[in-house]
Amino acid sequence: MKKGVIFSGMRPTGRLHVGHLSVLENWLKLSDEYECNFGIVDWHALTSNFDNTEGLNKNITLMCLDWLSVGLDPNKSPIFIQSHVKEHVELHMILSMLTPLSWLERVPTYKDQIQQLGSQGKDVSTYGFLGYPVLMAADILVYRADTVPVGEDQLPHIEFCREIARRFNYLYQTDVLPEPQAKLAKVSLLPGVDGRKMSKSYNNDIPLDATREEIMAKVQMMVTDPARIKKSDPGNPDVCIVHTYQSIYNPQEVEEIRSSCRGGTIGCVACKKKLADVLDKELAPIRERREQYANNPSVIKEVLADGADKARAKAQRTMELVRSAMKI
Ligand code: TRP
């Protein structure tokens, strides 16, 4: 007996890195307990990148490959491209009719993003961008999902989704659309190797497909305690990126490393070597699975086509209920 229905999605913005692992591992765990649906939300990518679609298709394929490599099982939970299930649009359009403009204007991420993207020279004062939360609500509600695993940054969007579901149910005196709950995962916020936010565009990330050599090279770049010159100098693990990683990926050894660092008995080179070893161990099974799929590219196409068929069947059932509640 499943605990409920989940929808979650990611924008196909590029290759994934170890910073995404905790989210994906959470999805893996949830796919045993819930009926899960995982969407690569390409229309969401258009909301801010409508003028730069180059690379979108490649990013979709890469994202699917990354998901399969971490072990998501498409036979258990459909993996699909949002734009292959047109019912998302139909529900989005219907919900847009009953969405008060003021609700959208007061979504906190909206003004933030307009400002942030504006300062990068990007004008997103568009209809589509304002409607982003409606599209996201449609993604969730079209599967009648009751649970949505998301990061904290997405909470206002889930709250918006609940309000829209409530409004729909009230207007049409129905209970077709459940009000979904956000499921916050314990996500470890992993900094990039230079201490900034981890991002492919800063080249401070460790990609999920990194080889042992690439892992070693990235670990070499990690910033350690700048006051520590010689190995015998006492180090301060609290200002060291290598240490942040050790505490997440090497919990068995971290305490010992910590005191050896403070005591000046383990040097940064040895400490980095230990970290590279554990990271390599973590990524090895992901690399292996990836190879199977990469050697067989038609599998990705089949997974996505089959996922869209399964997702569409569920979404069509919801839309029948929605239209019948609305008498349209
Ligand atoms: N807005 C989410 C993000 O940027 C992606 C997303 C789109 C999503 N639709 C969703 C997440 C539905 C959960 C459920 O991260």
Q: What percent of the chain has pLDDT over 70?
A: 99
Sign of CA dihedral 21, 27, 30, 31: negative
What residue spans define the domains of the chain?
Answer: 5-190+297-326, 200-290
The whole model's pTM is what?
0.94
Instruction: Check if 150 has its Cβ closer than 6 Å to any atom of ligand 1.
Output: yes
Instruction: Check if 7 has its Cβ closer than 6 Å to any atom of ligand 1.
Output: yes
Return the higher-pLDDT residue of 120 and 8. 8
What is the structure's pLDDT at 189? 78
CA distance 272 to 306: 43
* CATH superfamily of domain region 5-190+297-326: HUPs (3.40.50.620)
Ligand 1, atom nearest to 153 Cα: 15
Ligand 1, atom nearest to 150 Cα: 13
Topology agreement, domain 5-190+297-326 and domain 200-290: no
CA distance 218 to 204: 8
Instruction: Check if 145 has its Cβ closer than 6 Å to any atom of ligand 1.
Output: no
Q: How many CB atoms lie within 10 A of CB 221?
A: 14
What is the structure's pLDDT at 130? 96
Residue 39, SS3?
A: strand
Question: What integer is the mean pLDDT of 195-211?
Answer: 92
Beta strands at 181-184 and 35-40: parallel, antiparallel or unpaired: unpaired
Question: What integer is the mean pLDDT of 266-282?
Answer: 96
Question: What integer is the mean pLDDT of 41-55?
Answer: 94
CA distance 184 to 173: 30
What is the structure's pLDDT at 179? 98
CA distance 297 to 291: 10
Choose one of 83, 139, 141, 160 to mutate for the ligand 1 pocket test, by most ligand atoms within 8 angstroms of C-beta. 139
Residue 257, SS3?
A: helix
Find the 286 Cα to ligand 1 centroid distance in Å.
24
Model confidence at 143, in pLDDT bands (50, 70, 90)?
Answer: very high
Find the 236 Cα to ligand 1 centroid distance in Å.
38
Question: What integer is the mean pLDDT of 263-278?
Answer: 96
Model confidence at 98, in pLDDT bands (50, 70, 90)?
Answer: very high
Choose one of 5, 6, 10 to mutate for the ligand 1 pocket test, by most ligand atoms within 8 angstroms of C-beta. 10
Q: Using alpha carbons, select from 261, 252, 253, 260 the residue that is nearest to residue 224.
A: 261
CA distances for 265 relative to 23, 183, 228, 276, 286, angstroms: 35, 43, 12, 19, 34
What is the structure's pLDDT at 294? 81
What is the structure's pLDDT at 305? 98
What is the structure's pLDDT at 148? 98
Residue 34, SS3?
A: coil
CA distance 76 to 309: 14
What is the structure's pLDDT at 296? 86
CA distance 237 to 239: 5
The alpha carbon torsion through 103, 105, 108, 110 (nearest 10 deg) reads 130
Residue 86, SS3?
A: coil
Q: Is the pLDDT of residue 101 over 90?
A: yes
What is the structure's pLDDT at 201? 84
Report which DSSP code applies to 201.
G
167-180: pLDDT as tens digits: 999 999 999 999 99
Fold topology of 200-290: Tyrosyl-Transfer RNA Synthetase (1.10.240)
Model confidence at 121, in pLDDT bands (50, 70, 90)?
Answer: confident
Average pLDDT value for the chain: 95
